[in-house]
Amino acid sequence: MAGKPKLHYVKGRGKMESIRWLLAAAGVEFEEEFIETKEDLAKLRNSGVLMFQQVPMVEMDGMKMVQTRAILSYIAAKYNLYGKDLKERAWIDMYVEGTTDLMGMIMRLPFEPADVREKNFALSLERAATRYFPVYEKALKDHGQDYLVGNKLSWADIHLLEAILMVEECKPDILSAFPLLQAFKGRISNVPTIKKFLQPGSPRKPPTDDKFIANVRKIF
């Protein structure tokens, strides 16, 4: 029997968090080996397992996988979260890329100088409310189904819930103008594997704080 996937990353959200979300939603238990010092990272790089000398890296199915998108695509396909055909996969990809862009804006904020952070914080919320969330609200309205693609739970739904919760940490009432997204959030949050991941004590990581930022800067 194959062992659990092993995730190599710093002890925080970053680019690994969406991988944790997807594995958890698929009901897959995993282990984490945290990079806690500059020496830990150097050891990993010197071992030759990091194709591009970068993390995240996931050991799974006999592979040492790098590049976040490649890892997520593999997990989604392996656990039947990637649509039934090429067209559904294309829709899932479009939705995922959109939410990835939005989450990227928010993830960068804590690392930015204070003088630009406030401006970009406001821009991120504005983009969420006018560019990204209206797309998903319209999709749910147009097809009248519970999920974004194929009326079945997919990577697109999981990624969107992660994005919604991330934006709500910045602005709790962000969904006030999006009733279908509010209902969507409730539905997806109650998928048993996701509900478990949202409970205290799960591998889900807390929002980025000053301590995490200082540690990341020390390691990288």
Banded pLDDT at 32 (limits 50, 70, 90): very high
What average pLDDT does the chain have? 95
Decide: helix, strand or coil at residue 80.
coil
203: pLDDT strictly greater than 90: yes
Query: Each residue of 56-100: pLDDT tens digit?
Result: 999 999 999 999 999 999 999 999 999 999 999 999 999 999 999
* Residue 62: predicted pLDDT: 95
d(CA 98, CA 112): 22
CATH code for the domain defined by 86-190: 1.20.1050.10
Domain residue ranges of the chain, discontinuous segments joined by +: 6-79+198-210, 86-190
6-79+198-210 architecture in CATH?
A: 3-Layer(aba) Sandwich (3.40)
Banded pLDDT at 12 (limits 50, 70, 90): very high
Long-range pairs of 187-191 with CB within 8 A, sequence gap ≥ 24: 187/146, 188/153, 188/157, 188/158, 188/160, 188/161, 189/161, 191/25, 191/153
Banded pLDDT at 1 (limits 50, 70, 90): very low
The DSSP call for residue 149 is S
pTM for this one?
0.95
Percentage of residues of the chain with pLDDT beyond 90: 92
Banded pLDDT at 2 (limits 50, 70, 90): low
Beta pairing, strands 57-60 & 6-9 = antiparallel
* Residue 115: predicted pLDDT: 87
Minimum mean pLDDT among 24-28, 56-60, 115-119, 183-187: which range?
Answer: 115-119
